[in-house]
């Protein structure tokens, strides 16, 4: 920062963005040529658009994340998915259905409360909330089971069998020595 004297005062002049070296400027948008070949087409091994189809379907199913209901649904979705051992497309679809049923259960429970739980309309709404809640519990179990199966079927890293072999070799050596 440089000092300058203006209006009879000594002032500090902040650096202008165009004067800062590009290496210090934080890039907010990715390079448009990233993942593309010399011809401008997507290159082999491009990872930018991986799983964009399922992600678009999830955004469509959960609603606009800018609305309060959509924001809550997306937050709930990410929280539920984070706890599962695998997050393949099949698991994501089940979690989306679970989140939608949770949202419907909350909505119907709120409407039942407003209508009065002792009234016939309130009882109908309460029953609808319970049905959505039960469905979301079933979807939760199905998503967890599917995630566990997918995680168990995942190949292990290449170094793990070699490490297991070395541990087994050492264990044999300690058993023979005792």
- What are 137-164's pLDDT values in tens digits? 999 999 999 999 888 876 655 555 666 6
Answer for the pair 64, 72: CB distance below 8 angstroms, yes or no.
Answer: no
pLDDT tens readout for residues 73-90 = 999 999 999 889 888 888
CA 120 remoteness from chain centre: 40
Q: What are the tokens at 159?
A: 């170094």
Mean pLDDT (the chain) is: 81
Answer for the pair 148, 86: CB distance below 8 angstroms, yes or no.
Answer: yes
The whole-number pLDDT of residue 160 equals 59
CA 157 remoteness from chain centre: 23
Q: Could you tell me the CA-to-CA distances from 26 to 30, 58, 152 in Å, in that order?
A: 11, 30, 40
Dihedrals phi, psi of 11, to nearest 5 degrees: -120, 155
Q: With bands split at pLDDT 50, 70 and 90, how would you rate the model's confidence at 171?
A: confident
Q: What are the tokens at 132?
A: 């959505």
């Amino acid at each position: 920062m440089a000092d300058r004297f203006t209006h009879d005062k000594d002032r500090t002049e902040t650096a202008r963005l165009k004067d800062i070296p590009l290496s210090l400027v934080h890039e907010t948008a990715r390079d448009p040529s990233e993942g593309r070949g010399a011809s401008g087409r997507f290159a082999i091994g491009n990872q930018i658009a991986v799983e964009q189809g399922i992600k678009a379907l999830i955004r469509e199913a959960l609603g606009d994340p800018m609305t309060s209901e959509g924001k809550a649904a997306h937050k709930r979705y990410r929280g539920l998915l984070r706890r599962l051992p695998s997050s393949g497309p099949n698991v994501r679809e089940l979690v989306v259905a679970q989140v939608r049923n949770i949202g419907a259960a909350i909505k119907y429970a709120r409407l039942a409360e407003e209508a009065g739980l002792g009234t016939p309309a309130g009882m109908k709404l309460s029953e609808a909330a319970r049905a959505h809640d039960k469905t979301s519990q079933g979807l939760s179990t199905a998503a967890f089971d599917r995630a566990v199966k997918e995680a168990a079927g995942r190949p292990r890293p290449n170094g793990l069998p070699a490490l297991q072999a070395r541990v087994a070799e050492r264990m044999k050596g300690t058993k023979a020595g005792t």
